[in-house]
């Protein structure tokens, strides 16, 4: 007995009832399509989050003021502005620190040559580009001298340039913040894509002091800082640098042992890991729900296989009479169940991949059908076919040939 002959018998029975076979497979089609789509969405979302977090800068520690005075109305992070220029300068002297970038932020209306654009203006030091992994597309970044001299210069993100001047080269042009003119000396390279729904190219950088005095005015103390970005020299240094930074600022702020920090530090690696873990959990959950439909599909196959065994009792008896072994009958029916399930798996895989690509388009993230979803889907549908085909096949193989031949 050649096993491929049994495959032929199984396919013969499937194509003999095309409509019934299609409906039987439908459950597995839906189950596999759902599992493929859910895992693809999970992987796509995970990649998008990694990209977004990665685009904030690598090896990065973010220091922000802590929530203050619990019990009073919370004013949100940064409201207390416990951080100062001096903290940033002290951090810069620590080992393993590649760059330190203190930042103040304000929202302002920029105007130039009759065009207006509202954007986030950030007061930064020249090291900001290093800390945030930003690069210039043209022009130059302001340096320490520009900052010391209090020059009103700006480096703009591509979105701001496009909104104010279209395609024209903005270097050397004037842009006004309220009534104060700034000179555009550089344009940032695009960061592309959007992270967390924000356009990262919609940004204007100016020296810290200029932003404090000209954009934020009296709303901020002259040495206050809202955020300090600390870039470690190496990913392996990240945890140690984070500890050192925490110790240093506690010292700077004269915080006694046992007292709470008036600031907080977060490191990008742990933020990334936490969000990845959250997405992974979510993906597993979604896939598990989808897998339930796969089980339902399997029950459908079992049901139809039981019907088929009953319908074909005489056929089974005859096959036994002409010399089929019980194992031949078992394998024939098991193959039939697996073929039904596998066909459903293949169709479901195609639908799932197309669906995942479609959803990725809608969600505007790179379509991410993981390469293992193919083998996974086909493996799962084979297993479903085997599990749910086992009992009907066993029933077929256990039939008594005399009884079976007599059955009408």
Q: Which is nearer to other proteins, 206 or 399 (CB)?
A: 399
Q: Which is nearer to other proteins, 221 or 325 (CB)?
A: 325
339 is a contact residue toward other proteins (CB under 8 A): no
311 is a contact residue toward other proteins (CB under 8 A): no
Determine the 3-state secondary structure of 72 from DSSP: strand
- Give the span between the Cα atoms of 291 and 283, in whole angstroms: 12
Q: How many helices (H) and strands (E) does the chain have?
A: 13, 12
Q: What tokens appear for 73 in the block? A: 């109305």
Segment near other proteins (CB under 8 A), from 64-72, 114-122, 320-328, 336-344?
320-328
Interface size with other proteins, residues (CB under 8 A): 23
Q: Which is nearer to other proteins, 15 or 73 (CB)?
A: 15
322 is a contact residue toward other proteins (CB under 8 A): yes
Segment near other proteins (CB under 8 A), from 12-20, 165-173, 204-212, 219-227?
12-20
318 is a contact residue toward other proteins (CB under 8 A): yes
Closest CA to 203 of 163, 167, 168, 160: 160
Of residues 188, 328, 368, 396, which one binds other proteins by CB under 8 A? 328
- Per-position b or e across 130-154, b if 16+ CB within 10 A of its CB: bbbbbeeeebebbeeebbeeebbbb
Of residues 135, 168, 277, 321, which one binds other proteins by CB under 8 A? 321
**Minimum gap (Å) between residue 314 Cβ and other proteins:** 7
Is 88:252 a contact under the CB 8 Å cutoff?
A: no
- Give the span between the Cα atoms of 295 and 279, in whole angstroms: 24
**Minimum gap (Å) between residue 386 Cβ and other proteins:** 22
Of residues 327, 358, 366, 375, which one binds other proteins by CB under 8 A? 327
Question: In degrees, to the nearest 5, what angle opens at C-alpha 363 toward C-alphas 360 and 364?
Answer: 80
Q: Around Cβ 387, how many Cβ atoms within 10 Å?
A: 16
Is 392:308 a contact under the CB 8 Å cutoff?
A: yes
**Minimum gap (Å) between residue 323 Cβ and other proteins:** 2
315 is a contact residue toward other proteins (CB under 8 A): yes
Rule CB under 8 A: which residues touch other proteins? 1-2, 5, 12-13, 16, 314-315, 317-328, 401-402, 405
């Amino acid at each position: 007995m050649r096993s491929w002959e049994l495959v032929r018998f199984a396919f013969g029975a499937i194509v003999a009832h095309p409509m019934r076979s299609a409906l039987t497979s439908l459950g597995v089609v839906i189950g596999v399509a759902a599992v493929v789509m859910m895992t693809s969405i999970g992987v796509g979302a995970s990649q998008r989050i990694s990209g977004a977090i990665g685009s904030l800068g690598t090896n990065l520690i973010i220091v922000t003021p802590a929530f203050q005075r619990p019990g009073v109305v919370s004013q949100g992070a940064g409201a207390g502005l416990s951080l100062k220029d001096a903290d940033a300068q002290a951090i810069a002297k620590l080992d393993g620190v590649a760059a330190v970038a203190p930042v103040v932020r304000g929202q302002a209306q920029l105007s130039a040559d009759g065009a207006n654009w509202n954007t986030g203006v950030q007061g930064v030091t020249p090291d900001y580009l290093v800390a945030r992994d930003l690069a210039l597309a043209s022009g130059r970044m302001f340096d320490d001298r520009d900052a010391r001299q209090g020059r009103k210069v700006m480096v703009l993100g591509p979105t701001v340039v496009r909104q104010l001047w279209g395609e024209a080269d903005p270097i050397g042009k004037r842009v006004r913040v309220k009534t104060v003119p700034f000179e555009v000396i550089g344009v940032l390279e695009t960061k592309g894509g959007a992270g967390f729904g924000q356009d990262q190219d919609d940004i204007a950088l100016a020296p810290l002091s200029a932003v404090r005095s000209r954009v934020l005015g009296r709303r901020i103390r002259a040495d206050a800082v809202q955020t300090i970005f600390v870039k470690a020299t190496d990913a392996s240094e990240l945890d140690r640098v984070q500890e050192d930074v925490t110790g240093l600022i506690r010292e700077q702020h004269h915080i006694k042992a046992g007292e709470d920090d008036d600031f907080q530090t977060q490191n990008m690696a742990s933020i990334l890991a936490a969000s990845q873990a959250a997405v992974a959990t979510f993906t597993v959950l979604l896939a598990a729900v989808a897998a339930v439909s796969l089980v339902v599909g399997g029950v459908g196959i079992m049901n139809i296989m039981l019907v088929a065994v009953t319908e074909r009792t005489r056929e089974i008896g005859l096959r036994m009479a002409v010399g089929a072994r019980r194992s031949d009958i078992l394998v024939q029916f098991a193959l039939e169940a697996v073929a039904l399930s596998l066909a459903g798996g293949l169709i479901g895989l195609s639908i799932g991949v197309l669906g995942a690509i479609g959803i990725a388009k809608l969600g505007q993230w790179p379509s991410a059908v993981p390469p293992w979803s193919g083998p996974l889907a086909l493996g799962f549908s084979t297993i479903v076919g085997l599990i749910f085909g086992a009992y009907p096949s066993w029933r077929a193989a256990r039939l008594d040939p005399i009884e079976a031949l007599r059955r009408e």
